[in-house]
Structure 1
Amino acid sequence: MTRALSTPPVIASGLLGGSLQPVLPATGGLVLRPWEEFDASAFLSAYQDDELRRWHTRRPSTELQAREWFDAYRQDWKQEKGGHWSITRDGDEVLGPIALRGLDLDDGVAGAAYWVLPAARGAKVASYGLGALTAWALSEIGFHRLELDHSTRNHASCRVATKSGYLLEGTKRSAAVHDDGRHDMHLHARIRGD
């Protein structure tokens, strides 16, 4: 069912899904590129890290499942539901994922998400990746607002968001389930013009 809008959509339908998902350069020799089948091993191994598991309850358990996730990511792009990239060093070494999820093209709003492998922590990989994705989404594609949330206990993610210009807007009480129970979530956002 098509719904009638009194205003035109912020981003025209087909702008994203009608083209190939782009490769985005980032500061520090980083490259954001779509996930490839051969990335499954690195993707899966990341979920063996206790710190990562602390914040992510949805985890692949086999390389086959990781590749199925990559297939779902490609479908998200085609259907304009989301975009998922691998943050890499020079397009090769996988350092972590970054994504835009829950795309609302009518209002020009999307959610950003990221994490990095243990070896990449403390090297500004998440900040550089988020900076590149944010600039592309706001300036090139025309999104108006990007949001991200994280557990109030995840201080590293909060630092990345803040350093990347995502203002803390509030706390969503008891908004997410983690292995150790429900967590309050910080809501950050960046809008075009910030």
Structure 2
Amino acid sequence: MSQDEQPVFRPAGGPGLLLRPWEPEDAQVLADSCLDPAIQRWNRPGRLSVEEARARIARWRGRWQSEEAAVWAIHRFTEQRPMGMIGVGDIDLAGGSGELVYWLLPGGRGSGAMVDATVRVSRWALEELGLHRLRITHSVANTASCRVAEKAGFALEGTMRSALLHADGWHDEHLHARIQGDPWPVDELRTSAGR
């Protein structure tokens, strides 16, 4: 990873979406995202000033160079303002694993954008980066995240009891995963056939 620039790409079959590294100019969007109640509830980002958001973006770029994580801004081609974030964290190149994390601002929800982004980033991580296993974990109460994982072809492997502390207490977490060789969702295969 550290020898290459972080890729920029469209999710397979995406509705005019681009995934690109976060830029310092995106700091206001990142700071504003921390005020969204759903993002606060499920992702626990804390509150960020614009300067703190710039520092976080710089850390994300540093984590690419140190081969620990890859984080992208999601936005429509017709707009430069990000509407979401997706990334692979806890990258273990030697062990072949990583964990997907994601969120969308209200304007991007319900559009299928996150499923498309999840499939595209998963294909990159498994087919290009060479990871063997990817996981997604989320609170069992977060049904939207569960739908994204399932539609993107991540099998539900089980429930981790009292696994993550949220503002309202400890939550049980679903564990979803996909490994190299798992079939891709049928819709994704159809839309990427021409690539």
For the criterion TM > 0.5, the same-fold answer is yes
Tell me the CA shift for residue 79 of structure 1: 0.4
Single out whichever of 173-182 and 85-94 deviates more from structure 2.
85-94
Give ranges in structure 2 of 5+ residues lacking alignment: 183-195
- Which residue number corresponds to residue 51 of structure 2? 64
The alignment partner of 1:93 has SS state of coil
**C-alpha RMSD of matched pairs (Å):** 1.1
2-structure distance, mates of 1:71, 1:93: 18
Tell me the CA shift for residue 42 of structure 1: 1.1
**Structure 1 position 170 matched with structure 2 position 149:** no
Describe the superposition over 1:13-50 as per-residue Cα deviations: whole angstroms up to 9, x where unpaired. xxx01111111211111111000011111111112111
**Structure 1 position 39 matched with structure 2 position 26:** yes
Q: How many residues are treated as equivalent by the alignment? A: 179
Contact 1:60 1:66 in 2 (8 A): no
- Which residue number corresponds to residue 150 of structure 1? 138
Give the percent of matched residue pairs that are identical in Structure 1 and Structure 2. Answer: 41
1:80 to 57, 67, 71: 67
Amino acid at match of 1:88: H
Amino acid at match of 2:72: W
Give ranges in structure 1 of 5+ residues lacking alignment: 1-15
2:9 to 20, 24, 27: 24
1-structure distance, mates of 2:47, 2:91: 23
2:115 to 120, 127, 145: 127
Tell me the CA shift for residue 61 of structure 1: 2.1
2-structure distance, mates of 1:157, 1:93: 23
Q: TM-score, normalised by structure 1?
A: 0.89
Contact 2:26 2:81 in 1 (8 A): no
Contact 1:23 1:31 in 2 (8 A): yes
- Which residue number corresponds to residue 179 of structure 1? 167
Q: Following TM superposition, where does structure 1 have runs of at least 4 consecutive aligned residues deviating by more than 4 angstroms?
A: none
Contact 1:24 1:133 in 2 (8 A): no
- Which residue number corresponds to residue 48 of structure 1? 35
